[in-house]
Structure formats: C-alpha cells, structure tokens
Amino acid sequence: MKSNRAIIVQARMSSKRLPGKSLMKIGKYPLIYYVLNRLKITGEKVIVATSTDSSDDILVQYLEEQDFRFYQGSLDNVLDRYIATANKFGIEEIVRVTGDNPFVDIELLKNSLALFERYTYVDGIYEDGLIKGSGFELVALDELKSIKNPNQNYKEHVTYGLREKIKFRENYVQLSVPILHSSFRNKVILTCDYQEDFELISSILSYFNYRFNVSINEIVNYLDNKKSLKNLNSHLH
C-alpha cells in the first residue's frame, strides 16, 4: 500500500433512479457496507467521496459510526469532489469506484495497480471483457486537475474528458482484459441502478452467505444456472 494512493468511492443518497440505495439493507447490512469491505480486501486505503448536501447527512452518520474514511464535497460537481477528496487525504494515485458496485473485480484491481508506474489514466470500465459493475479506473490526481472549464458531462462523469483522448495519449490506456466470459456472461449486470438490480445483488449475496470476497467467476457460474435471475435486470441496461 502506497501512502499517496487510495480507492475513492463516490456515493450519495439522492440517486434519481434508486434514491437511498447506499443504505438499502441486504441481509444485516446496507449496500455501501458490502462495497467498502470488499474493496478493503485489496489492502489499499478506501475513502468515500460524498457530498455536503443534507440528503447525505444520514450516509455521513453511518460512515462515522462504522469508522470509514470519507470527505464531503460538491453534490453535482463530482469531478471537483474527487479532486477535493484526494487533496484532503494527500492522494496522488486514485482508484475510482462508484458506490453502487458491490462486486468490483478485486483480483483484477490488485493486479492492475502496477500500471500507475507507466500510465496516468487507465480505463477499466469500458472494456468488452469486463462485466458491467465489476470495473474501476486508475487516474492520477494531476490528470483530473488538468481538465479545464469542465462541462456538465465532465463534472458528473469525472473521467469523461480523459476517455475522449484515450486513443491519442501515450500515457492513457484501456485495460486489456481477456475475454474469458461467454456472450451470456457478458450480459450479466452487477451494478445497482434500479430496484431489479438491487434484488439481483441481494440474491447473489444471500446465496454466497454475504461473503465480501466472492469472485466474479463464482457469481457468473451461479447465474449460468439461474438464467431467470440473471434476466431480472438485463432489459434495463
């Protein structure tokens, strides 16, 4: 673990599609609990970037009670929130994760950290070999600061301005992931945007006894035998 590196997780309670999802209970614990404890398996610092909006007060209270690191910044300018969070904790190498993804591919993440030595932006989300909801991005703080006069897309989606340039910059790269999954598996959706997503995630965690370290392959193998469950949310994405 490097002192200037951290996984920064953006989370808020005011989601338009599924309000309050961060604290929706799965078994005994809320969604954000599974997200953060899974990421802690990496051995990296984990920090939540939430907002100063009153809607997030209840989330902040929970993070304080559970002794999770967090920072409160802008609600709508998520790019600025990331920069402010990194500045607060002295972070120069950011692993960006969203708080609605409880099944980030931990092994892939750990094996990708060495890419910081060569690249300042690594896209580990928009890649055909990745299951939606299992990915992440690696980005140097200086790259986020380099985004000048950000439009609303840049503010909301954080790395949008970097992805636009990925084909033209030697220090930007798209993560190369072997296409190990069948076409069926590539249609698995493990992010939590809708109630149906939440129901799928709840079913998966329940089946695996709420383990933080359940692997992506374990999940997709389980869903191979539960196609009706897998199809619960596929029409929404």
Q: What is the pLDDT of residues 16-57, one digit of tens each?
A: 999 999 999 999 999 999 999 999 999 999 999 999 999 999
List pLDDT tens digits, range 116-140: 999 999 998 876 678 889 999 999 9
Burial label for 61, CB within 10 Å (0-12, 13-18, 19+), is exposed
Say how many Å lie between the first and final Cα of the chain, rounded: 35
Q: Is the pTM of this model over 0.95?
A: no
> Residue 203 in 3-state DSSP?
helix
Provide the 3-class DSSP secondary structure of residue 121.
strand
- Reported as a single tens digit per residue, the pLDDT across 151-182 is 887 788 898 888 877 766 788 888 876 554 44
Higher pLDDT, 70 or 220: 70
For residue 20, the one-letter residue type is G
Total Cβ atoms within 10 A of residue 159:
23
Q: How far is Cα 184 from Cα 170, in angstroms, rounded to an integer? A: 34
Per-residue HEC secondary structure of 137-174 comes to EEEEHHHHHCCCCCCHHHHHHCCHHHHCCCCCCCCEEE
**Which tens digits make up the pLDDT trace of 73-84?**
999 999 999 999
Cα–Cα distance, 31 to 36 (Å, whole number): 9
Q: Could you confirm whether domain 5-174 is CATH 3.90.550.10?
A: yes
Structure tokens at 100: 């609605």
Domain boundary assignment for the chain: 5-174, 185-236
